[in-house]
Structure formats: structure tokens, C-alpha cells
């Protein structure tokens, strides 16, 4: 399952609410006590203008203090980092003209305050025993650790399968590049697999944030799976017109990320979105510049790779270059030239064997 990425404000708020934090401890105590709460995470002039009554305490935030203050009527106002409780027992009076889809008084107020102030607001339902976060225009019901953990474990298994398929697709692309037989279809399918891996990895990363201290094992598994994982950037640099320019690859990456699941399943939609040559013709032949294969040669820095691509203007001339040809490039001596030559030959042999065995 691949979900839409959450906005940064919601991610930061979820990190503050992760198990093991003072805020989560306080919220759990409120749920156990079967009381409700309305908590604003941030204070500025706008917040000051919409609060009435209550009292200022400006005291250090702890879970137990939050629980005790929640027993009173009214909302609680903390700082954005949840280090200080500024106000308690206050009445919130947001602009009633702000639209809300909520029905309950507490949740309607929470959504309006979040929209008007721009700060996250947490609503704890006394009757339903549910914690809801309102942040940056989104409504997010907080789930229990068991549900999140189960989803994260499933996503890890999916990522393992996606990673295997990605490696197969990239190995196939490498073999086709060496044979000079690449089409738009091959590149689009590689980009599809790269994006699927990126999305599921991001989803697991969100789960890790929500799990907090309880997500350590999931975080370790994720780190192992994505370690040295390739990205779409080198594919863009190889095949897009002006792909060596960073703004071109950044725009292509943003376009790829914005594709819906249905669009991501369509190679033509991928090709058109990122700007591959051929106008969506999947059989259009492409020639790589060689950035991606050169990234596998550990003995050469990025600047030397750039010079090699500039000098030979394509992977095929680079593969055909002998040691003397390579030595003509600035920064490449006898030893490095032989190392590059041997590495490229070895990659060619390995890619072809992987494809046909």
C-alpha cells in the first residue's frame, strides 16, 4: 500500500506525539481518565487574540501536568516544541466563518483554530476516546501503536519485494545500455520501480516517526533496505535533455512524485511527466550518457565522472575507450584509467550474465 506523503507540519507534530514522549504520556493519561482535551501547540499574537479567560502559568511541560490541567474546562496552550505550558482553562473563540466539516463542538473549534492560527491543534474526544490532530489543513486521527506496527511490518515486506524487482529492472536496463538497445519503455519502467521504492520507504519512515521509541527495529530494517539504494537522479541525468542541469532533474523528480498511483502504472504517463524524449512513444530509442554506470566505479569522484561524460558524449564511446583515451581526460592517470577500463568491462560482463542466466 502506498499513501500520499504527509505535510511537514503534521510529520513534526506526529514526532512530538510518538510513544515515549511527554506529550504522548499526557494524552494517554487523559484517555485513561476518560476526559477530553483541547491543546494548541503554539503561541503568538493570533492565538492571544482568540483566547479568553483561563489563566497563564508558563510552567514546564510534563505529562502529569497536562493530565491534571485537562480536568478543568477550557483549552490548554503550549509552545510549539511542547516544552512550556503557557495557558490553561482558556476559551478559544476562532472566527466562526471558517469552514469546518466537524460536528462536535470541541472538534469544530480545533479545526478552526488550526486553520486560523497555523498551529497544530490536538483534540481528545471524551466520548469516543480518540485523539485527532489538526495541522496545515489536514485532519489526522492518531492510531494505536499496534495498528501502526502491523502496517509497518507489512510495508517492510512490500519494500523487500519492491527492492528485488527494482534491482532486476536496473540490471536489465544496464544490459540494454551496454547493448545500445534502450527504449523509452525501459527507462520508464525503471523510473516506475524507483518511485515505488521511494514511496513505500517514505511511508515506512512516517510509521517510524509515529512509533517513536517503539519503532527502533522497523527503523533498523528500513535503514538496511534503503542503504545505498539508487535514486532516479542518475537516470534523469542519463536520458533527459539537459539532464546534467540540477533544475531539470529536480523538476523531473517533482513531476514523478506528483503522479497518482494510476498514472504511475502507465509508462507513457511517466515518460511524458518527466520529459523523456520521444513524446510518449515507448519504442523510441534512447542513448544514455553514462552517469549511472559510472556511479558504480568506486575509484572515480563525481567531478571526474562529469569530465568523462563531457569528453565521450555517450556510454557507447566511453565503453569503447581504451586506456590512452581515458588518460586524455583531466584527473585520470595510468592507474585510474586502467581501473575505469577494468570496472566498465566487469560491469558489462556481469550485466549481460545477470540478464541471460
| Binding-site entries | 74, 92, 105-109
Residues at the binding site for ATP are: 74, 92, 105-109
What is the three-class DSSP state of 79? Answer: coil
Going 203 to 205 to 209 to 215, the CA torsion angle's sign is positive
Q: Rounded to an integer, what distance in angstroms lies between the CA atom of residue 199 and that of residue 229?
A: 13
Q: How far is CA 134 from CA 72, 84, 88, 138, 151, in A?
A: 22, 20, 19, 6, 22
- Continuous segment of H or E residues that includes residue 285: strand 285-286
The C-alpha cell that represents 85 in the structure block = 505550558
What does the CA dihedral 324, 329, 335, 341 come to, rounded to 10 degrees? -70
Is 85 in contact with 65 (CB distance < 8 Å)?
yes
Is 327 in contact with 334 (CB distance < 8 Å)?
yes
What is the three-class DSSP state of 351? Answer: helix
Residue 22 burial (10 A CB sphere; 0-12, 13-18, 19+):
middle
CB atoms within 10 A of CB 91: 14
Is 194 in contact with 159 (CB distance < 8 Å)?
no
The C-alpha cell that represents 9 in the structure block = 507540519
Is 173 in contact with 239 (CB distance < 8 Å)?
no
Amino acid at each position: 500500500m502506498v499513501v500520499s506523503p504527509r505535510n511537514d507540519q503534521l510529520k513534526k507534530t506526529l514526532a512530538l506525539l510518538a510513544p515515549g514522549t511527554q506529550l504522548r504520556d499526557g494524552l494517554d493519561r487523559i484517555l485513561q481518565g476518560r476526559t477530553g482535551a483541547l491543546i494548541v501547540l503554539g503561541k503568538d499574537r493570533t492565538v492571544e487574540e482568540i483566547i479568553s479567560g483561563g489563566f497563564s502559568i508558563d510552567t514546564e511541560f510534563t505529562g502529569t501536568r497536562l493530565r491534571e490541567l485537562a480536568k478543568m474546562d477550557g483549552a490548554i496552550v503550549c509552545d510549539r516544541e511542547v516544552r512550556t505550558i503557557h495557558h490553561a482553562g482558556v476559551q478559544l473563540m476562532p472566527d466562526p466563518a471558517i469552514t469546518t466539516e466537524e460536528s462536535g463542538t470541541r472538534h469544530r473549534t480545533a479545526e478552526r483554530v488550526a486553520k486560523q492560527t497555523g498551529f497544530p491543534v490536538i483534540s481528545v474526544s471524551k466520548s469516543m476516546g480518540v485523539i485527532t490532530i489538526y495541522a496545515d489543513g489536514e485532519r489526522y486521527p492518531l492510531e494505536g501503536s499496534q495498528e501502526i506496527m502491523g502496517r509497518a511490518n507489512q510495508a517492510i515486506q512490500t519494500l523487500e519485494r519492491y527492492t528485488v524487482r527494482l534491482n532486476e529492472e536496473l540490471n536489465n536496463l544496464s544490459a540494454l545500455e551496454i547493448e545500445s538497445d534502450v527504449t523509452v519503455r525501459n527507462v520508464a519502467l525503471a523510473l516506475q520501480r524507483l518511485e515505488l521504492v521511494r514511496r513505500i520507504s517514505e511511508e515506512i519512515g512516517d510509521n517510524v516517526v509515529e512509533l517513536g521509541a517503539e519503532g527502533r527495529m522497523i527503523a533498523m530494517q528500513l535503514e538496511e533496505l534503503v542503504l545505498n539504494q539508487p535514486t532516479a537522479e542518475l537516470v534523469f541525468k542519463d536520458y533527459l535533455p539537459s539532464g546534467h542541469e540540477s533544475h531539470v532533474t529536480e523538476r523531473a523528480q517533482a513531476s514523478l512524485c506528483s503522479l497518482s498511483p494510476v498514472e504511475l502504472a502507465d509508462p507513457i504517463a511517466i515518460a511524458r511527466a518527466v520529459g523523456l524524449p520521444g513524446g510518449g512513444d515507448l519504442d523510441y530509442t534512447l542513448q544514455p550518457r553514462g552517469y549511472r554506470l559510472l556511479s558504480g566505479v568506486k575509484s572515480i569522484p563525481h567531478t571526474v565522472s562529469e569530465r568523462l561524460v563531457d569528453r565521450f558524449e555517450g556510454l557507447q564511446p566511453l565503453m569503447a575507450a581504451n586506456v590512452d583515451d581515458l588518460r586524455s581526460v583531466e584527473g585520470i592517470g595510468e592507474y585510474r584509467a586502467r581501473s575505469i577500463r577494468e570496472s566498465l568491462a566487469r560491469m558489462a560482463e556481469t550485466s549481460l550474465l545477470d540478464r541471460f542466466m
